[in-house]
A and B are shown apart, each in its own frame.
Chain A
Amino acid sequence: NAGVTQTPKFQVLKTGQSMTLQCAQDMNHEYMSWYRQDPGMGLRLIHYSVGAGITDQGEVPNGYNVSRSTTEDFPLRLLSAAPSQTSVYFCASSYSVRSSYEQYFGPGTRLTVT
């Protein structure tokens, strides 16, 4: 199993550009989520999905869109990049076993918006 994969690893955008961060998991997990990590701010939830075709907003959804057409893929779209979206983005997938809801995180995408 590759686990959770994210592409690209690094990206530089100009203000106003759009792009899609890719996330895929091969563990057949129902739950997937996107977080952003900023210094001193921890992990903040952007959007999440409880299954194919179902998505919902997290704590900081503005400026981002998601879709979940398959169980495996959960792309995050930046509609019009802003410097405030400079961050490290993590995708995660979750499963449950014996009362544990472990989240598996990808390696992250470091995004800089100039």
Chain B
Amino acid sequence: GENVEQHPSTLSVQEGDSAVIKCTYSDSASNYFPWYKQELGKGPQLIIDIRSNVGEKKDQRIAVTLNKTAKHFSLHITETQPEDSAVYFCAAGGSYIPTFGRGTSLIVHP
């Protein structure tokens, strides 16, 4: 089955800095790569996703890049704000039921 590694487990940045979270996957058949944000006490919520036929996708301050050859993908958050503080999960798979990484706790200091 699919195995997803996510790094770092904790990321601390100053407000306004950029944050990058990286993931690798093992199954070359995976073609869907979503990112979820989980705020304290809530369920995860999709923030951006990308399919394997696209190398990069951007939505305002967040972007995701995918390198299929190296089997890794990354989440980039620019101009971080305190409300970006949360746990972020990457995932990889075929479609509806992807495999999740272990999560990154992002802390944005005002």
Contact = CB atoms under 8 A, between A and B. Distances in A.
Interface stretch (B38-46, B65-73, B78-86): B38-46
A101 B96 contact: yes
Main secondary structure of the interface of A (DSSP, over half): strand
B45 A105 contact: yes
Interface size class of A (residues with CB under 8 A): 20 to 34
A100 interface: yes
Given A33-B97, A45-B97, A94-B96, A40 B9 contact: yes
Interface size class of B (residues with CB under 8 A): 20 to 34
B25 interface: no
Contacts of B42: 107-108
Which 6 pairs of residues, A with B, have the shortest CB-CB distance? A105-B43, A42-B102, A43-B100, A31-B96, A94-B96, A102-B46
Interface of A: 4, 31, 33, 35, 40-45, 48, 50, 58-59, 90, 92, 94, 96, 99-103, 105-108
